[in-house]
Amino acid sequence: MAPDHIFEKIKSGGRLSKDEALKLFNDDDLFGLGRLAASVCDKKNGGNAYFIVNRHINPTNICVNRCKFCAFSRSKGEAGAYELTIKEIIKKLKDCQSAVGSRQPAVKISEVHIVGGLHPDWPFSHYLDMLAAIKEKFPAISIKAFTAVEIDYMSKIGGMSVEETLKALKASGLDLMPGGGAEIFVEGVRNKLCPEKISGKRWLEIMETAHSVGIKTNATMLYGHIETFEDRVDHLMRLRALQDRTGGFQAFIPLAYHPKNTEIGGFYSSGIDDLKTIAISRLVLDNFDHIKAYWIMLGEKVSQIALLFGADDLDGTIIEEKITHSAGAMSGEAMTRDDMAHLIRRAGKTPIERDAFYNPVN
Ligand code: V47
Ligand code: SF4
């Protein structure tokens, strides 16, 4: 049993300390923890659970970083390396406007999620052209694109400050940013996982700058590899502190590590760890409105159960997913609007189809 004082503290609206969060990770009372997180979630979201009709696009898997947990990336010239032209990206968006998955015709997506590798040759103007072309053809689709890692890279190749880079991307059509690239902030682990990647401190600085120029973002944490519970708590605390300053994060998404075809190998996260991590995230991140159970990584069924452990969002229809599926995802790649609403209803929640900014649609 977790100490009663932690439960009482949460119930009276108190904030968890590092030590208390760590105690919850080391505790076995999963159902008590889940009930507590669910009650906090219900207070924030009133029994609603969100999903979006969206599509993922990864413009290239060619990446100069080659993180050791990433099975998606390739080096230039390596077998399996690809790069999409802007025309091909537009075609993917056109095609999915007429078929989401194979079971549902003519669904209009409201968001495109674009992330990719750090390409050694693409100039900054290519990213601006990509955004502008999408906005011109699909003005109603919100563009959620580029992790803080990609923004840092673009500012270097473009010879501009992060603020100028973000403003230029926004002027070309960037609406908001996803939360990828955060991994685990603690330096020692981060250096083992992804020595070429920007530091945790830099990731946070870039998000702070994005928030300051009016770009909302998400935040993630990659868990279940070589990190400790202390490292996870440190990560959550740093996100909570930044959110206190800016209020610019929309959702937090714990990303369950997938080990196949990666350099570090290891094991899939367990279902119990997945639920615990969702619940503790909900409790620690008291200043985040939304905790996402990303069904691609958790699987359709664990993500549904996560709705009873503090999560209030399943993400979206996705349509095509490469990053997790390269690393052995066991989920499908697409769900229909009806599939998502069904999972939510069967968890006893009210499904709300949302746009990129959590406004209800339909
Ligand atoms: O940045 C890479 C992670 C991220 C693996 O913001 C891996 O709405 C697990 O950030 N096992 C991309 N994870 C996914 C992501 C995301 C997904 C859905 C919604 C949002 C959002 C963001 O996936 C990468 C990296 O942190 N990743 N390799 C792996 N083997
Ligand atoms: Fe590149 Fe991102 Fe994969 Fe790291 S996680 S190798 S930065 S694509």
From 191, 197, 222, 264, the mutation candidate for ligand 2 (largest count of ligand atoms within 8 A of CB) is: 197
The count of C-alpha atoms lying within 13 angstroms of the C-alpha of 324, restricted to the half-sphere facing its C-beta, is 23
Q: Which atom of ligand 2 is nearest to the CA of 194?
A: 4
Two tokens, residue 361 = 């649609």
Q: How far is the CA of 59 from the centre of ligand 2 (A)?
A: 13
Give the separation between CA 206 and CA 142, rounded to whole angstroms.
21
Q: Which atom of ligand 2 is nearest to the CA of 149?
A: 7
Q: Which atom of ligand 1 is nearest to the CA of 149?
A: 1
> What distance lies between CA 29 and its chain's CA centroid?
27
SS3 assignment, position 39: helix
Give the separation between CA 273 and CA 14, rounded to whole angstroms.
24
pLDDT of residue 102: 47
Give the separation between CA 138 and CA 271, rounded to whole angstroms.
38
pLDDT by residue for the chain (362 residues), tens only, comes to 567 889 899 999 999 999 999 999 999 999 999 999 999 999 999 999 999 999 999 999 999 999 999 999 999 999 999 999 999 999 999 998 765 444 444 568 999 999 999 999 999 999 999 999 999 999 999 999 999 999 999 999 999 999 999 999 999 999 999 999 999 999 999 999 999 999 999 999 999 999 999 999 999 999 999 999 999 999 999 999 999 999 999 999 999 999 999 999 999 999 999 999 999 999 999 999 999 999 999 999 999 999 999 999 999 999 999 999 999 999 998 899 999 999 999 999 999 999 999 999 97
Domains of the chain, by residue range, sit at 17-353
Q: How far is CA 333 from CA 69, 106, 111, 203, 288, in A?
A: 20, 18, 16, 28, 27
Does the domain formed by 17-353 have CATH 1.10.530.10?
A: no
What stretch of H or E contains 315? Answer: strand 313-316
The terminus-to-terminus CA distance of the chain in angstroms comes to 43
Phi, psi of 227 (to 5 degrees): -80, 160
Give the separation between CA 243 and CA 245, rounded to whole angstroms.
5
* Measured CA angle at 31 (ends 358, 354), to 5 deg: 10
SS3 assignment, position 218: strand
- What ranges in the chain are assigned the alpha helix state H? 4-11, 18-25, 30-45, 86-96, 124-137, 148-158, 162-172, 187-193, 200-212, 229-246, 271-284, 295-298, 300-306, 323-326, 337-346
> What distance lies between CA 297 and its chain's CA centroid?
10
Ligand 2 binding pocket includes 149 (Cβ within 6 Å):
yes
What strands, in cross-sheet order, belong to the sheet with 350-353? 313-316, 48-52, 350-353
Amino acid identity at 274: D
Ligand 1 binding pocket includes 96 (Cβ within 6 Å):
no
Contact 112, 91 (CB under 8 A): no
Amino acid identity at 273: D
Ligand 2 binding pocket includes 68 (Cβ within 6 Å):
no
Closest Cα to atom 24 of ligand 1: 180
Report which of 252, 164, 168, 242 is spatially closest to residue 208, judged by C-alpha positions.
242
pLDDT of residue 104: 47
Q: How far is the CA of 252 from the centre of ligand 2 (A)?
A: 19
Q: Which atom of ligand 2 is nearest to the CA of 183?
A: 5
Ligand 2 binding pocket includes 72 (Cβ within 6 Å):
yes
Contact 356, 176 (CB under 8 A): yes
Closest Cα to atom 8 of ligand 2: 117
Contact 165, 153 (CB under 8 A): no
